[in-house]
Structure 1
Amino acid sequence: MTDLYLPPCCPALNDHWPLPQPLTGVQLVSACFDPTQLDSEDFSRCAIPPVPGVAKRQSEYLAGRLCARAALRRLTGVADVPAVGSDRAPQWPSGLVGSITHGRGWAAAVVARCSDWRGLGLDVEQPLPASRAERLAAEILTPNELLRLQALPVEQRAWRVSLTFSLKESLFKALYPLVLRRFYFQDAELLSHAEDGSARLRLLIDLTGDWAAGCELDGQVAAVDGHLLSLVSIPA
């Protein structure tokens, strides 16, 4: 899908839409990557500033930026690469909004114009094993969410904890550029999740005047290549 250089550690990009609900004006690009194939010259060949760290960290960062570059090119015709801000968040070109995510061997980015979308938050996770999900549930879930979790069959609980974790990560990514304030798992709750992949979340704290406790936002989730992918989108 691109004539720009792609390194052996991330040799192909995919522009399919893996989530259940298409969003008008949003570009999503994903890629598989292999840290063992990373070469020390890959950043310079891709014209992307390098980041410190081990091969895993470098390859996931590079793959995420390659996805973002391709998504921006599809949206605007210009192959920009978002820089890293002092808060470590991607710095998107003026008039654009986006989000980058990466998991075990898989990365993706979404971008759109601010005239269409105020915020986008994308997150990919490996589904939690059942034993780890049970250990982490009280950290990730609110009391109401824990009550609903207990009503589920045991085999569904790990998926619900994983799904809630990912959606709250996406919620943070979508809202943080708008509020410039950090918030945490107990500060929002998952109200509903339907079989079609749609979800609804609610803030439990006041972040700003526009984003007060009780505000509700839409999300969606899908299983992709063994990963759990979620997106929270805020219309303009």
Structure 2
Amino acid sequence: MTSTHPICCGPLDATSPFPQALPGLVMRSCAFDPALLAADAFVQHGIPAPASIQRSVAKRQAEYFAGRLCARDALLALTGRADVPALGDDRAPLWPEGVSGSISHSHGLAAALVADQRQWRGLGLDLEEPLATPRALKLAAEILTPAELRRLAAFTPEQQAARITLTFSIKESLFKALYPLVGTRFYFQDAELLEADDDGRARLRLLIDLSAEWRAGRELDGWHCLFRERLLSLVAVEA
């Protein structure tokens, strides 16, 4: 691994953009350009690439590279060790023992979030480009429950698109936070966004049983904000 910064990635940013500071969370983000990813970047910068990534197109390779670059720097700040999470059989990151974390990327921006599991049992982070109104309305029935669809009627079309984008993103974050805890896959219709305010807070409710602990009706907090022209959402499960 060299000490030089890879040319495909911008500087690592340690800023947490969420309006409410959550103690113990360490976040790193960076911009990246797949066209600038060097052929030897993974070897040159000490980021192991699994076979599936080596076979991928440049865009996927750059997403993986930038996400792991952010994760490594966040883990170094948290634990003092520059670990790179491997890719599990279920394609989820494999975090070091005692660490919870999440990685996301969207159109040239990557971010990673880590924490001590004794403080945060599960983390889900998701970056999304805001959906254009026509596409958002077309996808609404796939993403939203009937109750969520009914609540859309109070919004303008532009507000509806923003709410649909947020619902998509924060349910992705919910899955990332809970899947390592329950080992069960679940889908958009299996949870409901109850509310989301302008201060960046949100509230979600499970609609199905995922485990003996995580049953239908269980509610969780979420957070959301705009970050570099993307929507960034977070679900964090306290220990």
What TM-score comes out, normalization by structure 1 length? 0.97
1:148-190 deviations in Å (ceiling 9; x for gaps) = 0111112211000000000000000000000011000000000
- Unaligned stretches of 5+ in structure 2? none
* Residue 35 of structure 1: aligned partner: 34
* Residue 170 of structure 2: aligned partner: 167
* Residue 48 of structure 2: aligned partner: 49
Moved over 4 A (4+): none
Contact in 2 for aligned 1:179/1:207 (Cα 8 Å): yes
Hey, what's the Cα distance between the residues in 1 that align with 2:20 and 2:72?
A: 23
Hey, what's the Cα distance between the residues in 2 that align with 1:25 and 1:92?
A: 16
Hey, what's the Cα distance between the residues in 2 that align with 1:226 and 1:62?
A: 21
Q: 1:81 aligns with which of 67, 80, 84?
A: 84
Hey, what's the Cα distance between the residues in 1 that align with 2:220 and 2:10?
A: 35
* Residue 21 of structure 2: aligned partner: 22
Contact in 2 for aligned 1:5/1:45 (Cα 8 Å): no
Hey, what's the Cα distance between the residues in 1 that align with 2:161 and 2:107?
A: 18
1:64-87 deviations in Å (ceiling 9; x for gaps) = 000000000000111000001111
Give, as a single letter, the amino acid of the residue that structure 2 aligns with 1:147: R
Cα distance, 1:5 vs. partner?
3.8
Contact in 2 for aligned 1:187/1:203 (Cα 8 Å): yes
2:183 matched to 1:180?
A: yes
* Residue 61 of structure 1: aligned partner: 64
What TM-score comes out, normalization by structure 2 length? 0.96
2:219 matched to 1:204?
A: no
* Residue 99 of structure 1: aligned partner: 102
- Supply the RMSD in Å over aligned alpha carbons: 1.0
Cα distance, 1:4 vs. partner?
4.4
* Residue 154 of structure 1: aligned partner: 157
2:222 matched to 1:223?
A: no
Give, as a single letter, the amino acid of the residue that structure 1 aligns with 2:43: S
SS at match of 2:63: helix
Hey, what's the Cα distance between the residues in 1 that align with 2:5 and 2:211?
A: 41
Cα distance, 1:49 vs. partner?
1.5
- Unaligned stretches of 5+ in structure 1? none
